[in-house]
């Protein structure tokens, strides 16, 4: 806070960044716990037997990363509403 008792912009930005980081880490944690051993894992393993492993791995990692970012952004927007 400054002398007038008003939060500076940088303090609000830090709080906003921490909120995003918290939502991002929470979404990654939920995804890791819920996705281990599901049918997507088995489909990726079967695809790796039929197609180049690197292609399947890159596609799976890209899809997981995209879903993680979308989930984190969605969580962050929901937390901002409250």
pLDDT per position as a tens digit, 8-64: 556 666 666 778 889 999 988 888 888 776 787 788 889 999 999 999 999 989 998
Residue 57 lies in a domain: yes
Q: State the pTM of this model.
A: 0.49
Q: Which domain holds residue 66?
A: 9-81
Q: What is the CA 50 to chain-centroid distance, rounded? A: 29
Q: Is residue 1 part of a domain?
A: no
Q: 74 near 31, Cβ under 8 Å?
A: no
Whether residue 32 is contained in a domain is answered as yes
Residue 65 forms part of a structural domain: yes
Q: Which helix (H) or strand (E) holds 3?
A: none
Residue 28: C-alpha distances to residues 5, 9, 24, 37 (Å):
37, 29, 6, 16
Does residue 82 have a pLDDT over 80? Answer: no
**Within-domain flag for 4:** no
Structural domain count, the chain:
1
Integer Cα distance of 14 and 30 in angstroms: 24
């Amino acid at each position: 806070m400054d002398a007038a008792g008003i939060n500076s912009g940088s303090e609000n930005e830090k709080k906003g960044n921490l909120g995003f980081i918290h939502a991002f880490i929470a979404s990654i944690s939920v995804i890791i716990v819920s996705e281990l051993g599901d049918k997507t894992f088995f489909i990726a393993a079967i695809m790796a037997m039929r197609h180049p492993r690197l292609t399947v791995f890159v596609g799976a990692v890209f899809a997981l990363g995209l879903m993680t970012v979308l989930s984190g952004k969605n969580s962050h927007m929901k937390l901002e509403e409250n």
